[in-house]
Amino acid sequence: MKLYALALSPFAARARLALRLKGIDYEMVAPPGGGPRSPEFLAINPIGKIPVLETDNGLRIAESETIIDYLEDVCPEPSLTPDDASMRARMRNAIRTLESYVTPALFRLFKQIDPAGRDEKVVEAEFGQLANGLALVEHFVDDAEYVAGGAVSKADCMLLPTLLLCDVVSPLFGRDDPMKSHPVLAGYKEKARRHPDMGAIWGETAAALENAGS
Ligand SMILES: N[C@@H](CCC(=O)N[C@@H](CS)C(=O)NCC(=O)O)C(=O)O
Q: Give domain status of residue 56, yes or no.
A: yes
Distance (Å, rounded) from C-alpha 22 to C-alpha 56? 17
Same domain, 180 and 90: yes
Q: Please report the sign of the dihedral spanned by the C-alpha atoms of residue 113, residue 117, residue 119, residue 125.
A: negative
Answer yes or no: is the C-beta of 49 below 6 A from any ligand 1 atom.
yes
Task: Supply the residue whose CA is at minimum distance from atom 14 of ligand 1.
Answer: 49
Same domain, 104 and 209: yes
Residue 102, pLDDT > 80, answer: yes
- Number of domain units in the chain: 2
Same domain, 203 and 154: yes
| Digit-coded pLDDT (tens) for 32-70 | 999 999 999 999 999 999 999 999 999 999 999 999 999
Same domain, 89 and 168: yes
Percent of the chain with pLDDT over 90: 95
Query: Domain range for residue 30?
Result: 2-74
Same domain, 69 and 96: no
Q: Give me the pLDDT at residue 104, please.
A: 98
Q: Give domain status of residue 79, yes or no.
A: no
Same domain, 69 and 135: no
Q: Give me the pLDDT at residue 208, please.
A: 95
Question: Where a domain ends, among 46, 74, 102?
Answer: 74
Tell me, in angstroms, the distance from the centre of ligand 1 to residue 86's CA: 31
Same domain, 47 and 91: no
Residue 149, pLDDT > 80, answer: yes
User: CB within 8 A of 152, min separation 6: which ones?
Assistant: 21, 80, 146, 195, 197, 198
Same domain, 132 and 195: yes
Same domain, 28 and 110: no
Task: Supply the residue whose CA is at minimum distance from atom 5 of ligand 1.
Answer: 49
The CATH code of the domain that includes 66 is 3.40.30.10
Same domain, 24 and 128: no
Work out the pLDDT band at 213, boundaries 50, 70, 90: confident
- Answer yes or no: pTM beyond 0.85: yes
Distance (Å, rounded) from C-alpha 206 to C-alpha 161? 9
